[in-house]
Chain A
Amino acid sequence: GDSVTQMEGPVTLSEEAFLTINCTYTATGYPSLFWYVQYPGEGLQLLLKATKADDKGSNKGFEATYRKETTSFHLEKGSVQVSDSAVYFCALSDKSGGYQKVTFGTGTKLQVIP
């Protein structure tokens, strides 16, 4: 079945550091890929998405490129801020049995210190 593997956290960075959170996937079809962010005490919010190979999703300074050859969708940001501290989830969406199924990674906690 489909699966998503994320790097384990927590990731601790100083403000303005470069961020990479790795994500790889396995899927039987041609999935869409997503990054979600969860701030403390809140539900998940969509951060960015990519629907086909070589697409780059971007939002709020974050970006990720859909790499079919390496089955990866790594999240990057050039300069993190304290307000970026949250848990980040990689996810894929695929059709299985005619229904849309979504698979989430286990999440990576990011802590940004001033």
Chain B
Amino acid sequence: DAGVIQSPRHEVTEMGQEVTLRCKPISGHDYLFWYRQTMMRGLELLIYFNNNVPIDDSGMPEDRFSAKMPNASFSTLKIQPSEPRDSAVYFCASSLTVAVETQYFGPGTRLLVL
């Protein structure tokens, strides 16, 4: 299995632009998680899905952020409009259960908003 796939690996954009991050989970995994990693706040859970349904989005910072999972093999995290403080590494993870120790992390997308 190729593992969790994220694209793009790096994204540089200007403030105000829309940014879309993509994730392909491991086949057969029912759970998908989006995390944000910054120097100041460390790793934060933004949202997670079970069987394509959002379960807990309490970590989504504000309305500029949205996440979708239209099918079992694809998810997007969108920021519109983007701001410099959104600069971070965004990780996607998938798992068979909700337990954190079973999650497989993707390599991350490094986002820089100028």
Taking Cβ atoms with an 8 Å cutoff, the residues of A that contact B are 32, 34, 41-46, 49, 89, 91, 93, 99-102, 104-107
Contacts and interface: CB of A to CB of B under 8 A. Distances in A.
B49 interface: no
A93 B99 contact: yes
Chain A's interface: helix, strand, loop or mixed, by majority? Answer: strand
Contacts of B105: 42-45
A43 B107 contact: yes
Q: Which of A89, A104, A107 has the most CB of B within 10 A?
A: A104
A46 B56 contact: no
B100 A102 contact: yes
Given A89-B43, A99-B56, A106-B42, A46 B101 contact: yes
Majority secondary structure of chain B interface residues (helix, strand, loop or mixed): mixed
A105 B42 contact: yes
Contacts, number: 49
Contacts of B99: 93, 100
B34 interface: no
A107 B107 CA distance: 17
Contacts of A45: 105
A105 B39 CA distance: 11
14 contacts: A34-B100, A41-B107, A42-B105, A43-B4, A43-B106, A44-B43, A44-B105, A89-B42, A99-B56, A100-B98, A100-B99, A102-B45, A104-B42, A105-B42
B93 interface: yes
Interface in B64-114: 91, 93, 98-101, 103-108
A106 B43 CA distance: 7
A45 B106 CA distance: 10
